[in-house]
């Protein structure tokens, strides 16, 4: 959780710095077009680094099993990013066996699975259909975490990895709503001890930096044209 707080702090500092620079540009109104273009480039570099670092960290730790497990077709849309818990201390093997051998589904039900150590597994391709929420298997991407969060809390590493993954998915699907399984079906999933609202707020904080960058870039471009 400490790394997440540090990351939020870094974003807050970046937003403050961009706000200060924005104010300075408005007040002084003396920047040349070349300086404005250079400033835009610096903002792009910072934004690109932030996103690439997040994706790189995830890709280095993610274990991709989708080639072996995914037998589903493509999803028609992505309206939701749904968060689940297993509801018991089920390992990944337990989940796969339950879905494919007992339920007799042709593939596992979730797109991603995060165990208690924070290891992230991709079980289905991100754009595939799934079997995680009735009536929403063709319009949602799903993330499931090991544990019963009605009785326990997610581990710090598990939550941190979930936050990173949800942010990456939300960048990929910006119009999708982040929800718990309980928002789509009659269930308590992902459990009362999972801080769903807090996670959504953190993802929104990540996006604040991106939105500020976009607004400032538009302003800087118009400012450069006026000089």
Residues 144 and 160 in one domain: yes
Q: Is residue 199 part of a domain?
A: no
CATH number at residue 150: 3.40.80.10
Q: Are residues 7 and 104 in the same domain?
A: no
Lay out the sheet containing 177-180: strands in order across: 63-64, 120-122, 112-114, 140-145, 80-85, 177-180
Q: Quick one: average pLDDT of 179-187?
A: 90
- What is the average pLDDT value for the chain, to the nearest integer? 77
- Residue 184 within a domain: yes
Residue 53 lies in a domain: yes
Q: Distance (Å, rounded) from C-alpha 113 to C-alpha 142?
A: 9
In this structure, the answer to whether residues 29 and 127 fall within a common structural domain is no
Does one domain contain both 47 and 68? no
Contact 195, 149 (CB under 8 A): no
Asked if the structure places residue 19 within a domain, the reply is yes
| d(C-alpha 53, C-alpha 162), whole Å | 16
Residue 8 lies inside a defined structural domain of this protein? yes
Distance between CA 32 and CA 177 in Å, rounded?
41
Q: Are 185 and 140 in contact (CB under 8 A)?
A: no
Tens-place pLDDT, residues 2-50:
555 445 454 544 544 444 444 444 444 444 445 445 544 555 555 555 5
Q: With contact defined as beta carbons under 8 Å apart, do 123 and 113 qualify?
A: yes
CA distance readout (Å), 81 to 55, 65, 138: 17, 20, 12
- Give yes or no: residues 183 and 157 share one domain: yes
The CA–CA distances, whole Å, from 28 to 21, 22, 31, 32, 224 equal 10, 10, 8, 11, 13
Query: 117 and 69 share a domain?
Result: yes
3-class secondary-structure state, position 167: helix
One domain, residues 55 and 75: no
Please tell me whether residues 31 and 70 are part of one structural domain: no
Q: Which domain holds residue 14?
A: 2-61+207-225
Residues 19 and 103 in one domain: no
CB neighbour list of residue 130: distance below 8 Å, 6 or more residues apart:
72, 75, 107, 109, 110, 111, 124, 137, 140, 141, 142
Residues 85 and 160 in one domain: yes
Q: Has residue 181 been placed in a domain?
A: yes
Tell whether 202 is covered by a domain: no
56 with 74, same domain: the answer is no
Q: Following DSSP, what letter does each residue of 110-130 receive, concatenated?
A: -SEEE-TT--EEE-S-TTB--
Summarised one tens digit per residue, pLDDT across range 141-172 is 999 999 999 999 999 999 999 999 999 899 88
How many domains does the chain divide into? Answer: 2
pLDDT of residue 209: 60
Contacts of 223 (CB under 8 A, 6+ apart): 25, 29, 31, 36
Share of the chain above pLDDT 70, in %: 65
The reply to whether 200 falls in a domain is: no
Do both 174 and 142 map to the same domain? yes
Residue among 158, 147, 150 nearest 114 (CA): 158
Least confident range of 83-87, 131-135, 175-179: 131-135
């Amino acid at each position: 959780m400490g790394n997440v707080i540090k990351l939020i702090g870094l974003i807050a500092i970046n937003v403050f710095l961009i706000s200060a620079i924005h104010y300075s540009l408005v007040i002084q109104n003396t920047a040349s077009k070349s300086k404005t273009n250079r400033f835009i480039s610096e903002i792009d570099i910072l934004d690109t680094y932030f996103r690439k670092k997040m994706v790189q960290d995830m890709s280095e730790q993610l274990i991709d099993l989708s080639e072996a497990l995914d037998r589903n077709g493509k999803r028609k849309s992505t309206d939701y990013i749904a968060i689940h818990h297993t509801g018991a201390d089920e390992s990944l093997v337990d989940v796969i066996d339950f879905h494919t051998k007992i339920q007799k589904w042709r593939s596992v039900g979730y797109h991603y699975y995060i165990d208690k150590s924070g290891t992230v597994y991709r079980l289905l391709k991100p754009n595939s259909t799934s079997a995680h929420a009735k009536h929403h298997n063709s319009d949602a991407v799903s993330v499931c975490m090991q544990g019963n969060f009605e009785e326990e809390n997610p581990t710090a590493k598990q939550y941190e990895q979930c936050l990173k993954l949800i942010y990456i998915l939300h960048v990929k699907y910006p119009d999708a709503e982040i929800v718990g399984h309980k928002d789509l079906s009659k269930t308590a999933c992902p459990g009362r001890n999972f801080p769903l609202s807090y996670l959504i707020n953190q993802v929104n904080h990540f996006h604040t930096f991106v939105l500020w960058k976009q607004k400032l870039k538009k302003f800087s471009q118009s400012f450069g044209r006026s000089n």
